[in-house]
Structure 1
Amino acid sequence: MPPISTPRRSDSAISVRSLHSESTMSLRSTFSLHEEEEDTEPQVFAEQPSVKLCCQLCCSVFKDPVITTCGVSQKCPVDNAKLTVVVNNIAVAEQIGELFIHCKYGCRPAATGKPGAFEVDPLGCPFTIKLSSRKDHEAGCDYRPVRCPNNPSCPPLLTMNLEAHLKACEHIKCPHSKYGCTFIGNQDTYETHLEMCKFEGLKEFLQQTDDRFHEMQVALAQKDQDIAFLRSMLGKLSEKLDQLEKNLELKFDVLDENQSKLSEDLMEFRRDASMLNDELSHINARLNMGILGSYDPQQIFKCKGTFVGHQGPVWCLCVYSTGDLLFSGSSDKTIKVWDTCTTYKCQKTLEGHDGIVLALCIQGNKLYSGSADCTIIVWDIQTLQKVNTIRAHDNPVCTLVSSHNMLFSGSLKAIKVWDIMGTELKLKKELTGLNHWVRALVASQNHLYSGSYQTIKIWDIRSLECVHVLQTSGGSVYSIAVTNHHIVCGTYENLIHVWDIESKEQVRTLTGHVGTVYALAVISTPDQTKVFSASYDRSLRVWSMDNMICTQTLLRHQGSVTALAVSRGRLFSGAVDSTVKVWTC
């Protein structure tokens, strides 16, 4: 009997129930899932398959047979009964897998011309294999058609003839053809050519160039991702700016509505002020007579001067109190040295960084500066000369602080600890486990405080281990200050959080700023502690830590206030308007 050709079919949503008696059970039947469109891959059986393994409707051997039962899923096309697939029919599938078929490279379309019909090709592969192992055989079959790898225009070949063809092929290209070599020839001339090819001696260099080019492509793809991320962040910032502008407009509307009421209140305030002046005169008289003890009137800070000279925003400040010098770092990539005692003028401009100067720190007679160029420069304060430059991080150095003969530098997800004995900076340890940019570092007594995204970590300076974690809200932590009794931090979303330094319990959240709190500073006296905050909203605020209220708002800068420093009861503030202002009582 001639072999039966059966086109293979794949899974489909149409179920066909087999009618052979062995698979018929109570309310159960075997089905094969078929596609409506046929796959033209040849399937010629060596012997006639049993009718028990064929579908009664299409006469094809079952493909992925399943056992079904009457139910509520689909309908049988034979008797219209409702069916539900219960389980795969493994027994029938194994019988089908044991059937022998001719290799597809030993088959050809049937002479009858019937679509999808195949017959044995006497010139093709002579092997018959089990249906379950046909893929393994056909993948390595000697009769499998292949193309010449040297030239697609070469005539089609069989796998068994490929090796002989390659020896005689006249289209072998030089392996350096991608670099411009035009050689094409046979195997003999190929070997001779390689001995003379000018690219062969450069192959290691060319390979290194390819590797470097690939690395650059990978780096470029990463940069594209970073740009996409920055664009996304810019979009979010624009949305937030729009919202802030709307809020500001609402506040202006409220101010306009209350203007008339404020005028009335001002008149009343003037009357009260007159009464207070009278009372103050009475108190002063009593003080002069010695009736009262000491009297400390409320301190009011006023702007006493402005340092002008930078050509870009001021991002950091640092005071060398021994010599009455103020250092300021700016977007103009310079550090300016100001006299804060006599002339209030710029004494010198320090140049050396290739990026924005973001952080300044003093230890002994050394000034340390961190920059967006990822370096730290060491300066001698006595001579105002550069001593050393190191590549500190792979990302901008955002903040610096020193303690216990160590310098701590903060960058993206990392804090590095440097031994600063002598002029050389030696990396001592890297503190990890940080979730975002480290923009704030403060050293107080035996602890280091670091701020990143919604987190303050407290490190033991002696062991350099994290001993406590404070969770915040309001986005990234941009600034930290530590008093005798409190830990204070300023956040991206305008908030100032306050914790008790002993219990680590949050005691208050101070509100009032309408922009990111970029910097915090502390002035303490035996009687009181004041915290100063600098914000994107161009203002400074003075907070009394005794009652946690804002006692004064300082408005003199024309841009965001980004940096603070204190010395001898004086407050220095740097801003995006490229100026530094000094405030005193």
Structure 2
Amino acid sequence: MEASFGPTFSAVVPGAKTEASGTYKQHRRTPSSSSTLTYSPRDDEDGMLPISTPRRSDSAISVRSLLSESNMSLRSTFSLHEDDDDTEPLVFAEQPSVKLCCQLCCSVFKDPVITTCGHTFCRRCALTSDKCPVDTAKLTVVVNNIAVAEQIGELFIHCKYGWTPKMGGPGNFEVDPMGCPFTIKLTTRKEHEVSCDYRPVRCPNNPSCPPLLTMNLEGHLKECEHIKCPHSKYGCAFIGNQDTYSTHLDLCKFEGLKEFLQQTDDRFHEMQVTLSQKDQDIAFLRSMLGKLSEKLDQLEKNLELKFDVLDENQSKLSEDLMEFRRDASMLNVTYDPQQIFKCKGTFVGHQGPVWCLCVYSTGDLLFSGSSDKTIKVWDTCTTYKCQKTLEGHDGIVLALCIQGNRLYSGSADCTIIVWDVQTLQKVNTIRAHDNPVCTLVSSHSMLFSGSLKAIKVWDIVGTELKLKKELTGLNHWVRALVASQNHLYSGSYQTIKIWDIRSLDCVHVLQTSGGSVYSIAVTNHHIVCGTYENLIHVWDIESKEQVRTLTGHVGTVYALAVISTPDQTKVFSASYDRSLRVWSMDNMICTQTLLRHQGSVTALAVSRGRLFSGAVDSTVKVPSTVYQLTNPLQSIS
């Protein structure tokens, strides 16, 4: 017969908590004054018999079967955590079987596991010990011992509110006759102790009240003299007992406002939660802004470095061209180092991409149209500043054209506005098309406007525009119009049509490749067009035969411009790839590439040998040759 563990009880009967009779047991205790409850089942004085060590052959699971199950995801239904063992001793109602004790720590198993040698140990013991105490084999955890864990979970222990430490040494305890009379299964210990009637609590009204048991709290609250009004947080100073509390509520001025006060509290709480969320969002945005600022600074530094390298390379190229000038002349190629272009200055002021440019050469005025629905007038001769901002369109300004002292602007709002160049005032507005006006050009007192599958011809009569004719037979948007002395050139999808300027009849059609035609330029000897798919096609103006296709851009060629001198002709091309290329039409080669804009270059204009470029970065830049850099315009920044 096993030795007794803990006090001797005269009887064991089911407790008052009948709903858990299998979990709780109530004892009529008759302990003597010397009765003790011992925590450790392996103390010498508890009278336990030595634990016999089972042989490997006695194990219920062989080593081979354990290894085969080592990959299974098993979890014990009961685990005695180390923290629980350290902070809350377990006092068993009856002596546990020696088979439920670990041979390494001599205590009841805590999270039992089976090792490769076939024995069972606590998980912590197995992980912290090198060798098995039985056969000195190396300890390696294989699987949880679920069966042993469940047996330990079925053991009965005393509620922690039913015993007290005994004087005389650690690990000894005695029954508290005034404490909890229940013994409970180890697996339900936490659940019971949370709801135990013998759990000490404090008076919620006044912390200075003496400690209470949970079972006595309700009675204490009826007699407590420190009951506060539930509206004390709003300023009510009442403190009394249960009788005066009921009377006070009938008279309390805050009681009638309790719904309003509760709603206010709820609203205040919601605002606090919202404010906390906003603070988190602001902190996140600030961190992102800081990162973006750092990245932007780094990009600006890299960009400035690249520009410096580019300028240095261009200067070196100019020197190389001078050195090899003699060799170039032998190849019938004329290079003038003064024709190397550099950025002379930048006009800044638009709040959106610049889509069109036009120059009034008589007064040295530059007009720029933008997505911000305005036209800015720039002085390019004296002040180099914006003289005025013209407003009147309700859409993006897509086209500009000058005839005499009149400026014509076309917009995505389908209108053409007539402006007086001298006064810079609007003098007329015409509803020109049913779709956006994409391009404008004038010749022989006529204005030509291009839109979707349509070109309208207008007679210019003072400030009025009289519709003369509509040119048809176009297959797509007309984005490019150029007028010469005798012909009008229009570009649409893979087609350039040439119209007689007087009869307004189509006299020739040029077929292109590379998608829609976005730009056209005409020199003394060539017709040049830029297309959607990066190409520049060149035709002979007399024979209308295509002579070359120029490549190099990696985006749509939005604009073309021509500067001609008695010695040579240069064509400038502006592209989606943010570059501006300079082409020598004598040998059809690119002589220079300018990369000064931060966005797609969309518009070009030429006046008195000067070139102006507008871009999606909302700026207008002034590329100039080395010779022209001596002019005052270099002060623009």
TM-score, normalising length: structure 2: 0.47
Pick closer, same or farther for the CA change 1:16–1:258 going to 2, 3 Å: closer
Pick closer, same or farther for the CA change 1:3–1:556 going to 2, 3 Å: closer
How far apart, CA to CA, are the structure 1 residues paired with 2:354 and 2:293? 23
Pick closer, same or farther for the CA change 1:130–1:199 going to 2, 3 Å: same
Task: Indicate the larger mover: 150-159 or 211-220.
Answer: 150-159
Cα contact 1:8–1:39 (8 A) shared by 2: no
Cα distance, 1:151 vs structure 2: 79
Give the match's secondary structure for 1:17. Answer: helix
CA deviations 1:276-330 (Å, max 9, x no partner) are xxxxxxxxxxxxxxx9999954511111110000000000000000000000000
Give the match's secondary structure for 2:204. Answer: coil
How far apart, CA to CA, are the structure 1 residues paired with 2:501 and 2:60? 69
How far apart, CA to CA, are the structure 1 residues paired with 2:436 and 2:615? 20
Pick closer, same or farther for the CA change 1:305–1:182 going to 2, 3 Å: same
CA deviations 1:509-538 (Å, max 9, x no partner) are 000000000000000000000000000000
Task: Indicate the larger mover: 3-12 or 202-211.
Answer: 3-12
Cα distance, 1:8 vs structure 2: 93
Task: Indicate the larger mover: 445-454 or 242-251.
Answer: 242-251
CA deviations 1:187-213 (Å, max 9, x no partner) are 999999999999999999999999999
CA deviations 1:237-288 (Å, max 9, x no partner) are 999999999999999999999999999999999999999xxxxxxxxxxxxx
Cα contact 1:12–1:33 (8 A) shared by 2: no
Cα contact 1:18–1:29 (8 A) shared by 2: no
Pick closer, same or farther for the CA change 1:119–1:170 going to 2, 3 Å: same
How far apart, CA to CA, are the structure 2 residues paired with 1:412 and 1:199? 74
What RMSD in Å do the two structures reach over aligned CA positions? 14.5
How far apart, CA to CA, are the structure 2 residues paired with 1:250 and 1:263? 20
Task: Indicate the larger mover: 66-75 or 468-477.
Answer: 66-75
Give the match's secondary structure for 1:497. Answer: strand
CA deviations 1:452-492 (Å, max 9, x no partner) are 00000000010000000000000000000000000000000
Structure 1 runs of 4+ aligned residues shifted over 2 Å read 1-109, 113-275, 291-298
Pick closer, same or farther for the CA change 1:466–1:55 going to 2, 3 Å: farther
2:572 counterpart (528, 532, 538): 532
Cα distance, 1:421 vs structure 2: 2.0
Cα distance, 1:227 vs structure 2: 37
2:498 counterpart (437, 447, 458): 458
Give the match's secondary structure for 1:230. Answer: helix
Pick closer, same or farther for the CA change 1:351–1:213 going to 2, 3 Å: farther
Cα contact 1:28–1:69 (8 A) shared by 2: no
How far apart, CA to CA, are the structure 2 residues paired with 1:184 and 1:136? 35
Pick closer, same or farther for the CA change 1:51–1:376 going to 2, 3 Å: farther
Give the match's secondary structure for 1:559. Answer: coil
Q: Which residue of 2 aligns with 1:147?
A: 202
Give the match's secondary structure for 1:139. Answer: helix
In terms of Rg, which structure is larger? 2
Give the length in aligned residue pairs. 564
Pick closer, same or farther for the CA change 1:293–1:408 going to 2, 3 Å: closer
Cα contact 1:412–1:437 (8 A) shared by 2: yes
- Relative contact order: is structure 1 or structure 2 higher (C-alpha 8 Å, sep ≥ 6)? 2
CA deviations 1:408-463 (Å, max 9, x no partner) are 00000000000012111110000000000000000011100000000000000100
Pick closer, same or farther for the CA change 1:192–1:63 going to 2, 3 Å: same
Cα contact 2:319–2:337 (8 A) shared by 1: no
Structure 2: segments with no counterpart, 5+ residues: 1-47, 119-127, 622-636
Cα contact 2:322–2:337 (8 A) shared by 1: no
Give the match's secondary structure for 1:347. Answer: strand
Cα contact 2:328–2:335 (8 A) shared by 1: no
How far apart, CA to CA, are the structure 1 residues paired with 2:180 and 2:270? 47
How far apart, CA to CA, are the structure 1 residues paired with 2:560 and 2:153? 78
Give the match's secondary structure for 1:93. Answer: helix
Pick closer, same or farther for the CA change 1:312–1:138 going to 2, 3 Å: same
Pick closer, same or farther for the CA change 1:417–1:62 going to 2, 3 Å: farther
Cα distance, 1:93 vs structure 2: 93
Pick closer, same or farther for the CA change 1:493–1:342 going to 2, 3 Å: same
How far apart, CA to CA, are the structure 2 residues paired with 1:539 and 1:408? 29
Matched-pair identity in %: 93
Cα contact 2:580–2:593 (8 A) shared by 1: yes
Cα distance, 1:144 vs structure 2: 91
Task: Indicate the larger mover: 248-257 or 38-47.
Answer: 38-47
Pick closer, same or farther for the CA change 1:556–1:97 going to 2, 3 Å: closer
How far apart, CA to CA, are the structure 2 residues paired with 1:429 and 1:48? 114
Matched, 1:299 2:339: yes
Cα contact 1:6–1:117 (8 A) shared by 2: no
1:254 counterpart (301, 304, 309): 309
CA deviations 1:334-383 (Å, max 9, x no partner) are 00000000111000000000000000000000000000000000000000
How far apart, CA to CA, are the structure 2 residues paired with 1:326 and 1:406? 22
Pick closer, same or farther for the CA change 1:249–1:467 going to 2, 3 Å: farther
